[in-house]
Chain A
Amino acid sequence: MTLSINNLSVRIAHKDILHDLSIDFAAGKRTAIIGPNGAGKSTLLKTAAGLRTDYTGSVQLDAVDIRRLSRRDIARRLAILPQGATAPPDTTVQQLVDYGRFPYRSWFRASDAKADREAVEWAMAVTHTEQFAARQVQTLSGGERQRAFLAMALAQQPEILLLDEPTTYLDIAHQLEVMDIVAKINRDYGMTVIMVLHDINHALQYADEIAVLTGHHIAAQGRPQDILTVDMLAEVFHVKADVFVNSQGAAVLSPVGLVRD
């Protein structure tokens, strides 16, 4: 399934957030969207997921305009985990993950209980959340909570998964844990992953494709090693960085200071 965006412009309160932006997201790949704060990364992700409707241009799922699809149809093919997702504090993890089956249920048609159960079981197994399935959301640590919400999105059995800064507020171990799960889902099940990332090194390590969002549009798109360079960091983020090669033989960018004009 391909997701493509053409000539997208979004204005919020008379201000251009995105302007004439076009991008195709390759099916089966992990694409990281990076860019400075306020560049419109979350807006792009929400628009791509059909959460916003106040735009010009088009968002197409397999060449069909997303505005012609019902919310339920979209939710079966595409899942989004926004930043700072919350649930009533006494919701159990099991119940939360089960909410991911909502797009498959309706009050006038009995749902396929077996398919629902299997999807929930699978989502919890992939995210290692089964062992705390009965716990309430309010008792979870940040990392556990993020995995539980990730499991909910996976229970939708989408072909495309959109993640808005999935590692924010997590410690290093939990960041890697979440990123590893995302990589595994992509690798083992061919799910297309589109994620907004803050950490340039996560983008380097976990993405097949990088899109740089700045100045209201996609300024560059390509392979991580071609895009994530010292020059790009200086130009887009105004940050001076060094490059190291780590023990795994991978390049790592280390910011050393701001570029002063």
Chain B
Amino acid sequence: MKKMPAESDRLVKRRISLLVVFAVLACLGGIISIMKGSVPIPLAEIAAALLGDSAGTHQQILMNIRLPRTIVAAFVGINLSLSGAILQAIMKNPLADPHIIGISSGAGLAGIVIMLALPEHSWLIMPVAFAGAMGAAMLIYLLAWKNGIRPIRIILAGVAVSAFFGAGISAMMIFYSDRVHSALMWMVGGLSARSWPHVELLWPYTLAGLVLALVLARQLNILQLGDELARGLGLSVERTRLLATAVAALLAASAVSVVGLLGFVGLIVPHAARLLVGSDYRFLLPAAALLGAAVVMFSDTFARTAFAPVELPVGIIMAVLGAPFFLFLLRREL
């Protein structure tokens, strides 16, 4: 258009350059995550190993341990961040994230049951945790349904379901107190020993989640205007909300089933992205995905290396970073 676009264009340029910055951050996070560890691997060797013309222990460590773990970290970051960003739009609530909504608690309980009661079937953890997350999401949706869906009812139903499953988790830990150690890592959320099978589980969800989220971006923008205005503009509000909830649940479920109850990523990353690029979901979703990948990769690298030889679960780092940021948001926005 004629006069005003000068400033609108500037806004778009600003958002695109921020996306580029986040992409660079994500790449950096990936490279550093691959380089750092108990055995440092120089950059030149990484390039050689990735191209397949090197052998030896470094190549082994790189291909079997560091690279898959880094990819898992990136995918988990993307999935949790997208899930949180979508939930925040459909709930019209800045505090919505897969944890608070209660989706994670279903995965948590299911995972703990396998881990503690049937430890010999540990391969079941992923699929069962996934089913648990989806089950929790559906349960919350059914409980919140009463002539349609209201965001506030979803949140309250989520809190109730969370408390219920939380009680189950506590009970399991008391019944099997001798085996609690293995469950602890899961409760906090960690990437230790995550490898190619986990990458294989995650990538379809990450890919489908990204595509669906970007397809939904325009609808989510309209949904942010509130139900009435959105309906008036021709949006099928209930259908969009149901579809978007399903996408958010799938994303969260896939992430939780691989790394356990990793908190704060789905809450703080979409918020940080929103502060920087604004609330237009066409930009916010890719920004949250890139930033989520970068944050989890950096945090995991830090968690692995900062207190070597002790390896902290990345969930602890996320909580230490996330809680103050959460309080900052609270002071700023509410």
Q: Does B306 belong to the interface (CB within 8 Å)?
A: no
User: Known contacts being A90-B279, A91-B279, A102-B235, is A82 close to B229, with CB within 8 Å?
Assistant: yes
Annotate A78-109 by CB proximity to B: 1 below 8 A, 0 otherwise.
Answer: 01111001111111101100011011010100
User: Known contacts being A85-B226, A86-B225, A87-B225, is A133 close to B231, with CB within 8 Å?
Assistant: no
Q: Does A72 belong to the interface (CB within 8 Å)?
A: yes
Is there contact, CB below 8 Å, between A130 and B3? yes
**Which B residues are CB-close (under 8 A) to A85?**
225-226, 228-229
Report the contact-size class of chain B (Cβ under 8 Å from the partner). Answer: 20 to 34
Q: Does B39 belong to the interface (CB within 8 Å)?
A: no
**Which A residues are CB-close (under 8 A) to B278?**
88, 90
Q: Does B305 belong to the interface (CB within 8 Å)?
A: no
In the complex, chain A residues 33-76 whose Cβ is within 8 Å of any chain B Cβ: 46, 49-51, 54, 70-76
**Which A residues are CB-close (under 8 A) to B221?**
99
Is there contact, CB below 8 Å, between B218 and A107? yes
- Set A76, A87, A94: member contacting B8, Cβ < 8 A: A94
How far, in angstroms, from A85 to B228 measured CA to CA in the complex?
9
**Which A residues are CB-close (under 8 A) to B3?**
130
How far, in angstroms, from A80 to B309 measured CA to CA in the complex?
64
Taking the nearest CB of chain A, how far is it from the CB of B34, in angstroms? 36
Chain B residue at minimal CB-CB distance from A78: B232
Chain B residue at minimal CB-CB distance from A94: B8
User: Known contacts being A95-B280, A102-B234, is A88 close to B224, with CB within 8 Å?
Assistant: yes
Is there contact, CB below 8 Å, between A156 and B233? yes
How far, in angstroms, from A229 to B27 measured CA to CA in the complex?
73
**Which B residues are CB-close (under 8 A) to A75?**
232-234
Chain B residue at minimal CB-CB distance from A108: B215
Is there contact, CB below 8 Å, between B236 and A71? yes
Annotate B5-16 by CB proximity to A: 1 below 8 A, 0 otherwise.
Answer: 111100100000
**Which B residues are CB-close (under 8 A) to A131?**
4
Taking the nearest CB of chain B, how far is it from the CB of A40, in angstroms? 16
Q: Which 5 A-B pairs have the closest CB atoms?
A: A75-B234, A134-B7, A103-B234, A133-B4, A88-B279
List chain B positions with a Cβ less than 8 A from chain A.
Answer: 1, 3-8, 11, 147, 215, 218, 221-222, 224-226, 228-229, 231-236, 278-280
Known interface pairs A79-B232, A86-B226, A105-B218; 18 further A-B residue pairs with C-beta atoms within 8 A, sorted by A's residue number? A51-B232, A54-B147, A71-B231, A71-B236, A72-B234, A73-B234, A74-B234, A80-B232, A82-B229, A86-B229, A94-B5, A103-B233, A121-B1, A130-B4, A134-B4, A134-B5, A134-B8, A153-B232
